[in-house]
């Protein structure tokens, strides 16, 4: 293997690997090209270029004690570790590190579901547990709780939450970091720490009260590099009795403003699960004349869009609503949502959708009996992990930029216009147009998506995508829209946009990093937070 | 053996005694119901003709269980939604699952 850890020669690397093998066993340390291939970012736009960041080696400890020993070995040899849970972070860097030559700390063997409590509605899991594993554990035991999983569901609750991933059920569960409750962490010196009530010996409320007493450092471990999370608790939804859906459509472009406000009310009142916004006019994008209008420089006028909708006989916007709970409650919530919106927006229409008792049948999960077009993926909506979404992956994968924007219709229009104009210089499909709908994934904010595909055999295309990503991040930041999650090759660009008061947040985080991890052992550069050892080189 | 029905009603050649599982693009069912359990045990060589996209998913999951694609041959079949058909073999590699 030609890749060495930073500041290390071949002999030092061999000594490091020897120490790792002595701790975890020779079968669980890797450094050959073939063994390291899966730890490269399969979706990288800089694949096989000088910008691709690759690990030198990987180690998979069996338990927390071995994790502690590995961290101490890395500290002794001054080798950066890049912890991963199941390594499925495709589109956000996969398992690739921020520093060339890092050793991947692969936590896949820490795969115990430690507890699922169906009376108090929580679980406690290790990082190597996937959503499929947790789902299977619950199903095999007939436990009456529902998980909230991303799509695809092969990642881990710990890894996904630590990268602030999302799911598709009720607001308090689909923000996965927000739904966590309590964690155990191996610190950069190998010490073991528990947060919240986990810090109190004998406490039985670790997964019920996240804060304990005093400052809560949990946030430092999400998109952070202050420790290796080895256990994490999550709140779970009690298995709902019933699932109900409904569609509301509004005629005019401007109606989105009121529609968003109504959804905000319904969601923040705990009445609806994930709401899918869409524009029925998106079906017209195959028409060159309409596509030119929807992607017009500076954006089309409301009148132009309303005229196009009228000519096509389509509504301007639609929302897919989903309700979870007792049957009578879901019926009352749908009635309320429908009446509230239809009485406020002239011309609005409501359509009753499928509704059924849970658990759903296989046929119900296929979601092919809705009386209207729907973008809802039923499995995700009902907390059932799937791999089927792989069908949307084009070429050899993609990179993702998901700018956060206010839950406000006017803000949606502004992002459509600004980022639509910004991406025009790149030969890519129109990710932003006058019919682009907001994503309502995180509990209290919107996002949009820019996810151009990459092609292994087309470096010119990949270079264009790479330039486009950096350009979009920069333009969005000029308007106060920041990315929520990024691959290592973009984390510095994104972190630099969170620059209030001369970057005081980053300075604070790096001061702490220098204090607790002076050698930069744990994921240096993750989240744009660099220890002094690497800072100058990283910002050169 | 796994066969991806997106590429038609493929017939395994000269291996008629081998159990065949069919799916259409989405490997969730065959992996969750069959492979996840078998890949946790030692041994078990698996062959298939699938889309390259399905193979990527299977290869990633197989790697989690100490297995590798040891043979990979693109097939001269019509692409389906720009997806190429591939014939492949996944076999145990890591000592923890080698027979």
pLDDT in tens, A403-427: 999 999 999 999 999 999 999 999 9
Instruction: Calculate mean pLDDT across residues A163-167.
Output: 97
Residue pLDDT, tens place only, B24-56: 999 999 999 999 999 999 999 999 999 999 999
Residue of B nearest to A151 (CA): B28
Q: What is the mean pLDDT of chain B?
A: 92
Q: How many CB pairs under 8 A join A and B?
A: 38
Complex prediction ipTM: 0.95
Q: Are residues A90 and A210 in the same domain?
A: no
Contact A42 B61 (CB under 8 A): no
Q: Are residues A252 and A335 in the same domain?
A: yes
Q: Are residues A344 and A421 in the same domain?
A: no
- pLDDT score of B11 more than 70: no
User: What is the domain-level CATH number for residue A148?
Assistant: 3.30.465.10
Choose the closest CB to B64 out of A86, A152, A391. A86
Residue A154 near chain B (CB below 8 Å): yes
User: What is the domain-level CATH number for residue A531?
Assistant: 1.10.45.10
Question: What is the DSSP secondary-structure string of A358-398?
Answer: SSPPHHHHHT---SS-----HHHHTT---SGGGGG--TT-B
Mutate to test the interface with A, among B6, B28, B50, B97 (most CBs of A within 10 A): B28
| Cβ-Cβ contacts under 8 Å, A134 against chain B | none
Instruction: Calculate mean pLDDT across residues A44-65.
Output: 97
Which of A58, A75, A106 is the last residue before a domain boundary?
Answer: A106
Instruction: Based on the residue annotation, tell me whether A92 is a catalytic residue of this protein.
Output: yes
In this structure, is residue B75 part of a structural domain?
yes
- Residue A539: the pLDDT is 73
Q: Are residues A170 and A150 in the same domain?
A: yes
Residue A457 near chain B (CB below 8 Å): no
Q: Are residues A142 and A215 in the same domain?
A: yes
Q: Chain B residues contacting A, CB < 8 Å?
A: 25-28, 31-32, 36, 53-54, 56-57, 60-61, 63-64, 68, 82, 94-96
Cα distances (Å, whole numbers) of residue A171 to A146, A208, A444: 14, 18, 8
Which of A326, A347, A382 is the last residue before a domain boundary?
Answer: A382
Contact A387 B63 (CB under 8 A): no
Q: Are residues A146 and A42 in the same domain?
A: no
- pLDDT score of A182 more than 80: yes
Residue pLDDT, tens place only, A495-528: 999 999 999 999 999 999 999 999 999 999 999 9
Mutate to test the interface with B, among A29, A84, A384, A387 (most CBs of B within 10 A): A387
Instruction: Based on the residue annotation, tell me whether A484 is a catalytic residue of this protein.
Output: yes
In this structure, is residue B21 part of a structural domain?
yes
Q: Are residues A120 and A79 in the same domain?
A: no
Q: Name the percent of chain A lying above pLDDT 90.
A: 97
Q: Are residues A248 and A120 in the same domain?
A: no
**From A40, A72, A92, A194, the catalytic residue:** A92
In this structure, is residue A150 part of a structural domain?
yes
Q: Are residues A157 and A255 in the same domain?
A: no
CB A372 within 8 A of CB A247: yes
Residues present in chain B in total: 99
Tokens of A413: 């229009």
pLDDT confidence band for B99 (50 / 70 / 90): confident
Tokens of A316: 């301007």
Residue pLDDT, tens place only, A367-407: 999 999 998 999 999 999 999 888 778 888 999 999 999 99
CB A146 within 8 A of CB A240: yes
Q: What is the mean pLDDT of chain A?
A: 97
Question: Nearest CA of chain B to the CA of A205: how many Å?
Answer: 33
Find the domain containing B8 and state its range. Answer: 2-92
Between CA A322 and CA A171 the distance in angstroms is 12
Q: Are residues A94 and A117 in the same domain?
A: no
Q: Where are the alpha helices (DSSP H) in A368-499?
A: 378-381, 409-422, 459-478, 488-497
* Tally of domains within chain B: 1
Instruction: Calculate mean pLDDT across residues A453-462.
Output: 95
* Tally of domains within chain A: 5
| Cβ-Cβ contacts under 8 Å, B36 against chain A | 132
User: What is the domain-level CATH number for residue A321?
Assistant: 3.30.70.870
Find the domain containing A29 and state its range. Answer: 10-106
In this structure, is residue B23 part of a structural domain?
yes
Q: Are residues A269 and A378 in the same domain?
A: yes
Whether the model clears a pTM of 0.95, i.e. scores above it, the answer is yes
- Residue A536: the pLDDT is 86
């Amino acid at each position: 293997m030609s890749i060495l850890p930073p500041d290390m020669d071949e002999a030092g690397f061999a000594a490091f690997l020897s120490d790792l093998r002595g701790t975890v066993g020779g079968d669980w340390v890797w450094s050959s090209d073939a063994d390291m291939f899966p730890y490269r970012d399969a979706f990288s736009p800089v694949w096989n270029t000088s910008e691709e960041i690759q690990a030198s080696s990987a180690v998979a400890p069996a338990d927390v004690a071995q994790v502690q020993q590995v961290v101490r070995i890395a500290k002794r040899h001054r080798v950066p570790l890049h912890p991963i849970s199941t390594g499925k972070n495709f589109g956000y860097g996969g398992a690739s590190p921020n520093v060339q030559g890092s050793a991947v700390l692969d936590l896949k063997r820490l795969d115990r579901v430690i507890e699922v409590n169906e009376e108090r509605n929580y679980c406690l899991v290790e990082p190597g547990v996937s959503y499929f594993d947790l789902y299977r554990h619950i199903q095999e035991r007939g436990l009456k709780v529902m998980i909230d999983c991303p799509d695809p569901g092969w990642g881990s609750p710990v890894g996904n939450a630590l990268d602030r991933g999302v799911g598709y059920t009720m607001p308090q569960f689909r923000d996965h970091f927000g739904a966590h409750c309590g964690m155990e962490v191996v610190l950069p010196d190998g010490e073991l720490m528990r947060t919240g009530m986990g810090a109190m010996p004998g406490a039985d409320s670790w997964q019920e009260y996240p804060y304990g007493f005093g400052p809560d450092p949990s946030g430092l471990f999400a998109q952070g590099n202050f420790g290796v999370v080895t256990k994490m608790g999550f709140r779970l939804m009690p298995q709902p009795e019933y699932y109900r859906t409904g569609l509301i459509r509004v005629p005019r472009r401007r109606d989105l403003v009121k529609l968003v406000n109504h959804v905000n009310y319904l969601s923040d009142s705990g009445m609806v699960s994930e709401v899918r916004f869409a524009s029925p006019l998106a079906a017209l994008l195959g028409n060159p004349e309409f596509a030119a209008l929807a992607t017009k420089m500076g954006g089309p006028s409301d009148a132009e869009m309303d005229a196009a909708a009228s000519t096509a006989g389509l509504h301007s916007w639609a929302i897919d609503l989903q309700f979870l709970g007792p049957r009578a409650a879901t019926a009352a919530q749908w009635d309320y949502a429908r009446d509230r919106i239809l009485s406020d927006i002239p011309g609005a229409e409501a359509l009753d959708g499928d509704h059924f008792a849970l658990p759903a049948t296989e046929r119900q999960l296929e979601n092919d009996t809705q009386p209207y077009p729907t973008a809802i993926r039923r499995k995700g909506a009902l907390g059932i992990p799937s791999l089927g979404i792989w069908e949307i992956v084009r070429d050899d994968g993609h990179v993702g930029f998901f700018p956060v924007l206010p839950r406000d219709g006017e803000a949606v229009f502004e992002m459509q216009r600004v980022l639509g104009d910004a991406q025009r210089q790149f030969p890519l499909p129109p990710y932003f147009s006058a019919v682009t709908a907001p994503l309502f994934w995180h509990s209290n904010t919107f996002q949009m998506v820019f996810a151009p595909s990459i092609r292994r055999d087309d470096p010119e295309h990949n270079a264009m995508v790479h330039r486009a990503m950096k350009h979009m991040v920069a333009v969005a930041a000029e308007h106060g829209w920041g990315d929520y999650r990024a691959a290592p090759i973009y984390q510095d660009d994104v972190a630099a946009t969170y620059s209030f008061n001369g970057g005081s947040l980053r300075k604070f985080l790096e001061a702490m990093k220098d204090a607790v991890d002076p050698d930069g052992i744990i994921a240096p550069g993750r989240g744009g937070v660099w220890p002094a050892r690497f800072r100058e080189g990283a910002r050169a | 053996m796994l066969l991806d029905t997106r590429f038609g009603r493929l017939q395994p050649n000269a291996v008629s005694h081998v159990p065949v599982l069919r799916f259409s693009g989405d490997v969730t069912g065959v992996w969750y119901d069959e492979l996840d359990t078998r890949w946790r045990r030692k041994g078990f060589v698996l062959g298939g003709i699938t889309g390259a996209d399905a193979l990527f998913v299977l290869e990633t999951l197989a790697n989690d269980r100490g297995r590798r694609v040891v043979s990979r041959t693109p097939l001269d079949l019509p692409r389906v939604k720009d997806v190429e058909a591939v014939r492949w073999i996944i076999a145990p590699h890591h000592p923890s699952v080698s027979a």
